[in-house]
């Protein structure tokens, strides 16, 4: 017997229709690449998205065609989120920090038909426009007055102007209805090894993920919030905040290209931001600026930090100095991206602050919809509540079943997706990432968690960033080598740093050596590129060798 409820597909366009009807006057504020602050409402967003959907049809974009963007977080990018997917095409958000050759590879692999870009990326467009195979039009996301000069424009095939496309249409448009399993957007993984692989989201997975992301024990978003997503819209749909915005009616504040501490801080204060989200490296810049200028956050209450492990020292600085609660979250492109969020259970409310900080350093509990387990090298499930870590596997309705165009074959193991992360899970179900499996340091057959070591090093006041990598050792195979970037003007010696580990970890986990570098390489999504460091130090002679 079937239930007797309405069959209504979960479609991305319904989020926009809801926002226009129930939160029409709520604002969306953007720092534009043109230099000014732009503000309008969800009502305006809905009308302009409908116009853009018509413009896409006029350009010949059909159901399931891929439409690419190279763009910052801003209102025009959000219009494309709804116009492209809402019309039944697939929004392909491309990471502009990739090398031009990778962008060409991705655009060809996705068979993108149209590419929309922010003016910042004009040089990138000039570099790739005549190499991509399928793109029929390039659209500059600006008005006529800011379009590239004629000599530049003439070298880009079929260069169009975003505002002219919008102006040529009216906003009478009915969003089409179709199967909720239709593809809605496409995002390529960072691909530290081999070519990047595409993850193809559906309307159903996206809407379910947005419901889950907004829950109180996830990102906890409501109509009362003012959300500033620092996490880019070109990286896993900005952790779904453009969808959560429409779902909840929260005011959205988009920082555009202004990701430095000063620009971000000004927007936080002028727009009354209550919630933000981003990777640890961005917050480092912001905290540096706020501390150096002796400033305070007057409205910000919470910030979501994920994408790489949030150093406990950062959680503490946010909490103790600024009264901002850090919500540590974990996920990946293949998971839309949210998997876990670290919020308290009732028992933690009566614990000491120190005990609570220890909980907050973990990546958190599974959000409903995500099932997770850890397994040993033979695939046997490991118990929760021990110090043993294992390979982390997940499954759920917003987790990929195969990569776009089946690249790399079947990624699943008995219906589970192996994340490539190594983690332990405590008795209360709080998961803690100890490593990426390829970053694990194997000393005498035992694993040393590099993230634990980095977290300790980054709590030292002189350390700006620290990466721990495996260095070759004749007796133990591998031993930890700590690579450190100091804070500007700060001094610390190798001996002082090694002494800093005493009493905080098992003695045999202590790094064998410390090297100081001017910079630690960061990848396109702001994560430390340990593979590059491993290359750089592959012949490093440890003093213990
Ligand atoms: P991406 O698909 O580029 O978002 O990268 C996903 C990977 O980032 C995960 O598999 C983890 O290795 C890492 N990651 C994401 N969030 C966290 C976190 N909170 N702590 C540690 N690693 C994280």
Domain C-terminal end among 384, 414, 436: 436
Residues 378 and 467 occupy one common structural domain? no
Residue 255 in any domain: the answer is: no
283 tagged catalytic: no
493 tagged catalytic: no
| Ligand 1 pocket at CB < 6 A | 189-190, 236, 306-309, 328, 330-333, 337, 363, 419-421, 433, 436, 525
Residues 490 and 428 occupy one common structural domain? no
Residue 301 in any domain: the answer is: no
Residue 99 in any domain: the answer is: yes
Residues 75 and 163 occupy one common structural domain? yes
Q: 186 has which bridge partners? A: 92, 200
Residues 383 and 486 occupy one common structural domain? no
CATH number at residue 415: 2.30.38.10
d(CA 45, CA 524): 29
332 C-alpha to center of ligand 1: Å?
Answer: 5
Residue 345 in any domain: the answer is: no
Over residues 63-91, the pLDDT tens digits come to: 999 999 999 999 999 999 999 999 999 99
Residue nearest to atom 20 of ligand 1 (CA): 309
Residues 388 and 525 occupy one common structural domain? no
pLDDT at 191 over 70: no
Residue 310 in any domain: the answer is: no
The pLDDT confidence band at residue 27, using thresholds 50, 70 and 90, is very high
Q: Kindly compute the dihedral angle of the four CA atoms of residues 96, 101, 107, 108, in this order, to the nearest 10 degrees.
A: 180
pLDDT at 35 over 70: yes
Query: What is the arrangement of strands in the sheet containing 112-117, beginning at the earlier edge strand?
Result: 159-161, 137-140, 112-117, 66-70, 90-93, 183-188, 198-202
Domain C-terminal end among 156, 180, 202: 202
Over residues 111-144, the pLDDT tens digits come to: 999 999 999 999 999 999 999 999 999 999 999 9
Print the domain residue range for 429. Answer: 363-436
Structural domain total, the chain:
3
Residue 247 in any domain: the answer is: no
Check: CB of residue 181 under 8 Å from CB of residue 170.
Answer: no
Over residues 444-467, the pLDDT tens digits come to: 878 888 998 999 999 999 999 999
For 61, 172, 422, 472, the CA distances from 441, given in Å and listed in that order, are 49, 59, 12, 10
Residues 80 and 168 occupy one common structural domain? yes
Residue 528 in any domain: the answer is: yes
Residue nearest to atom 8 of ligand 1 (CA): 307
Residues 182 and 57 occupy one common structural domain? yes
Domain C-terminal end among 387, 404, 436: 436
Residues 416 and 514 occupy one common structural domain? no
334 tagged catalytic: yes
Residues 392 and 446 occupy one common structural domain? no
CATH number at residue 484: 3.30.300.30
Check: CB of residue 290 under 8 Å from CB of residue 265.
Answer: yes
Check: CB of residue 300 under 8 Å from CB of residue 324.
Answer: yes
446 tagged catalytic: no
CATH number at residue 166: 3.40.50.12780
Residues 424 and 496 occupy one common structural domain? no
Residues 106 and 66 occupy one common structural domain? yes
Please enumerate in sequence order all residues whose Cβ is within 8 A of that of 3, keeping only pairs 6 or more positions apart, or say none: none
Query: Whose structure tokens read 């809801």?
Result: 18
The pLDDT confidence band at residue 505, using thresholds 50, 70 and 90, is confident
Over residues 404-435, the pLDDT tens digits come to: 999 989 999 999 999 999 999 999 999 999 99
Check: CB of residue 321 under 8 Å from CB of residue 283.
Answer: no
Residues 92 and 161 occupy one common structural domain? yes
Residue 6 in any domain: the answer is: no
Check: CB of residue 181 under 8 Å from CB of residue 203.
Answer: yes
- The secondary structure of residue 179, as a DSSP letter, is -
The minimum-distance atom of ligand 1 relative to the CA of 333 is 2
């Amino acid at each position: 017997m079937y239930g007797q409820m309405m069959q209504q597909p979960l479609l991305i366009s319904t989020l926009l229709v809801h926002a226009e009807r129930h939160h029409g006057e709520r604002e969306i504020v953007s720092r534009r690449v043109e230099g000014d602050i732009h503000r309008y409402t969800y009502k305006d967003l809905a009308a302009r998205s409908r116009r853009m959907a018509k413009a896409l049809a006029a350009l010949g974009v059909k159901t399931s065609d891929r439409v690419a963007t190279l763009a910052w977080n801003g209102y025009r990018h959000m219009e494309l989120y709804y116009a492209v997917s809402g019309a039944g095409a697939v929004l392909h958000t491309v990471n502009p920090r990739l090398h031009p050759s990778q962008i060409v590879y991705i655009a060809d692999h996705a068979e993108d038909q149209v590419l929309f870009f922010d003016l910042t990326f004009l040089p990138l467009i000039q570099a790739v426009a005549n190499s991509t195979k399928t793109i029929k039009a390039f659209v500059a996301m600006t008005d006529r007055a800011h379009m590239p000069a004629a000599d530049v424009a003439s070298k880009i095939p079929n260069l169009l102007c975003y505002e002219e496309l919008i102006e040529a249409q009216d906003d009478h448009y009915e969003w089409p209805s179709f199967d909720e399993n239709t593809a809605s957007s496409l995002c390529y993984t960072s691909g530290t090894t081999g070519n990047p692989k595409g993850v193809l989201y559906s309307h159903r997975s996206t809407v379910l993920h947005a419901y889950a992301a907004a829950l109180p024990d996830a990102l906890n978003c409501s109509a009362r919030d003012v959300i500033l997503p620092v996490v880019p819209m070109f990286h896993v749909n900005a952790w779904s905040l453009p969808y959560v915005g429409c779902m909840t009616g929260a005011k959205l504040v988009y920082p555009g290209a202004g990701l430095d501490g000063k620009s971000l801080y000004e927007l936080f204060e002028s727009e009354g931001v209550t919630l933000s989200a981003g990777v640890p490296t961005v917050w480092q810049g912001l905290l540096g600026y706020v501390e150096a200028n002796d400033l305070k956050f007057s409205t910000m209450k919470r910030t979501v930090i994920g994408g790489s492990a949030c150093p406990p020292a950062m959680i503490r600085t946010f909490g103790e100095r600024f009264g901002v609660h850090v919500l540590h979250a974990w996920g990946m492109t293949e998971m839309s991206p949210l998997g876990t969020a670290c919020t308290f259970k009732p028992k933690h409310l009566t614990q000491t602050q120190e005990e609570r900080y220890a909980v907050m350093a973990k990546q958190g509990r599974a959000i409903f919809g995500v099932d997770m387990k850890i397994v040993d090298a033979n695939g046997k499930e490991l118990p929760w509540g021990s110090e043993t870590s294992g390979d982390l596997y997940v499954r759920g309705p917003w987790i990929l079943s195969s990569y776009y165009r089946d690249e790399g074959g079947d990624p699943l193991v008995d219906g589970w997706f192996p994340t490539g992360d190594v983690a332990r899970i405590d008795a209360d179900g709080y998961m803690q990432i100890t490593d990426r499996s390829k970053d694990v340091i194997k000393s005498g057959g035992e694993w040393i968690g590099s993230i634990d070591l980095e977290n300790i090093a980054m709590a030292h006041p002189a350390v700006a960033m620290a990466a721990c990598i495996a260095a070759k050792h004749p007796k133990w195979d591998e031993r930890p080598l700590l690579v450190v970037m100091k804070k500007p003007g700060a001094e610390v010696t190798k001996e002082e740093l090694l002494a800093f580990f005493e009493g905080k970890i098992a003695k045999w986990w202590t790094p064998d050596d410390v090297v100081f570098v001017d910079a630690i390489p960061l990848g396109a999504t702001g994560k430390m590129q340990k593979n590059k460091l491993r290359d750089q130090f592959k012949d490093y002679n440890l003093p213990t060798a």
